[in-house]
Structure 1
Amino acid sequence: MGAGDPQDLVVKIRRSVLDGHFAAGQRLVEAELCDLYQVSRSTVRQALRELVADGLVEVQRNKGARVRVISTAEAVEITEVRMVLEGLLAAKAAERVTPEQAGRLLKIKEAMRERVAAHDPLAYSELNAALHGLVQEIAGQVTARTILVRLQGQLVRHQFRLSLQPGRSAVSLGQHERIVDAVVARDPAGAEAAMREHLRDVITQITRISQATTPSVEVAAPAGSGASRRDGLATR
């Protein structure tokens, strides 16, 4: 077993949270992480310290590390920050988009339409993530994109709950179509407004769902369960 690179391990654990392999509230046992990623315990400890600083992991007294459970209030705050950052990135993408990149955006938009028509929310969600990622790539703002990656992992549970709402994919599709159309038209103000409108609606829906269900505690799905894996495929 090699020592391993702590930064590489941070990326891998963060990806496991986004993909739903590690559920909200799940314990992260050092020995198990060493075996899973074939790295030393010191590498695991360094990676967990960084993930704690990012807000993705928390350390509980006498219980060790676990994936942090995000409250509805925190989810709203994080999405408000995303609204500013992703609005900026959408505007920058509209300024910088090339014809080739515009074609890629339009292909994703068309594929999203097809998945909504086929009632396939998981495939739609993957395209959703690809679309946001492409907009960020086109924008070329490394700092904003790095911050967004850190924020995204904290919202997995709330996004999953939102994805289960009847008709959500169709509503989300219309919002994403407006984002794509504005970027392709090289309309920075329109792209930023469309992105902000989309994320403002996400905030509204997260709040509505919370008020309707009023859970006292969010229960994490068991490691490796179907629900856990689907968390990483949330429709925004």
Structure 2
Amino acid sequence: MTSTSVTDDLDTAGPADLAQRIRTAILGGDFAPHQRLIEADLSERFSETRAAVRTALLTLAGEGLVERLPNRGARVRAITVDEAIEIVEVRVGLESLCARKAAENIEDDDIAVLRELRGDIEDAVRSGDLVEYSRLNQELDRRVRELSGHATAMQLLERLRAQSARHQFRLAFHPGRATQSAPEHIAIIDAIISRDPDAAEVATRAHLAGIVRVLRTTT
């Protein structure tokens, strides 16, 4: 009985883990937009069965990262700038909700972590390390979502952010963007550690509005 249960857990965990590994490869730029995702190649690369690869690709297609082509398999879906803008507009409500909840839920230990992250963001911008700055932004987003404790918003945001991740990464390297967005991120942190839900929501909405403005200049 116990052995059957363990096997079932492994069987259900495998495809999810593989989907995450392929997702990471796509978001990391290992696969370009419109690039074909050949099951045999992915099977060899990730040391998984073709059936597991097929299941993972179906999961990623449901997230909008991959598109299925009739009789041609799958390829990386290219997200247009207009789509990226729409995604950010949808994120406004969800992320401002998470920021409010984070400000309401934050504990003293969490405040210490966010203060350290705040300093790291300032250091990255000061030194011009845009790759590190982009990573820290993602870390901040993740921590705010976790602090919110809002499972539904977290799940929806994971899917939305995955679809627009390429555009988000490029924004970090947009001329002057880091010096503009860093104070926005710091305002969000300061509002949350001050346990001020209203200020956290306002700061989050202002930050995302800035992203939309920059994206519109790239169309």
Partner Cα distance (2:121, 2:166) in 1:
22
Q: CA deviation at 1:24?
A: 2.2
Which runs of 5 or more residues in structure 1 are unaligned?
Answer: 211-236
Q: Max radius of gyration: which structure?
A: 2
Aligned residues: percent identity? 42
The two structures, once aligned, show a CA RMSD in angstroms of 1.6
Aligned equivalents of 1:93, 1:22: Cα separation in 2:
34
2:114 — aligned with what?
A: 105
CA contact (8 A) 2:104 2:197 kept: yes
Residue from 131, 150, 165 that aligns with 1:156: 165
Describe the SS at the equivalent of 1:5.
helix
Q: Deviations over 1:113-155 (max 9, x none)?
A: 1111101100111111111111111111122112211111211
Q: Which amino acid in the other structure matches residue 176 of structure 1? A: H
Identify which range, 75-84 or 57-66, moves more after superposition.
Answer: 57-66
Aligned match of 1:142: 151
Q: Separation in 1 of the partners of 2:162 and 2:34?
A: 13
Matched, 1:93 2:93: no
1:10 has 2:10 as partner:
no
SS at match of 2:170: helix
Structure 1 runs of 4+ with >4 Å offset: none
Q: Which has the higher contact order (CA 8 A, sep 6+)?
A: 1
Alignment check: 8 A CA contact 1:24 1:157 kept: no
Shift of 1:62: 4.5
Runs of 5+ unmatched residues, structure 2: 1-9
TM-score normalised by L of structure 2 = 0.90
CA contact (8 A) 1:25 1:66 kept: yes
Aligned partner of 1:129 in structure 2 is 138
The count of corresponding residues between Structure 1 and Structure 2 is 209
Amino acid at match of 1:34: S
- The corresponding residue for 1:59 is 68
> Could you say which residue in structure 1 is the equivalent of 2:3?
none
The structure 1 residue matched to 2:127, chosen from 118, 121, 126, is 118
Farther-moved stretch of structure 1 (160-169 vs 134-143): 160-169
The answer to whether the Cα contact below 8 Å between 1:10 and 1:50 also exists between their aligned partners in 2 is: yes
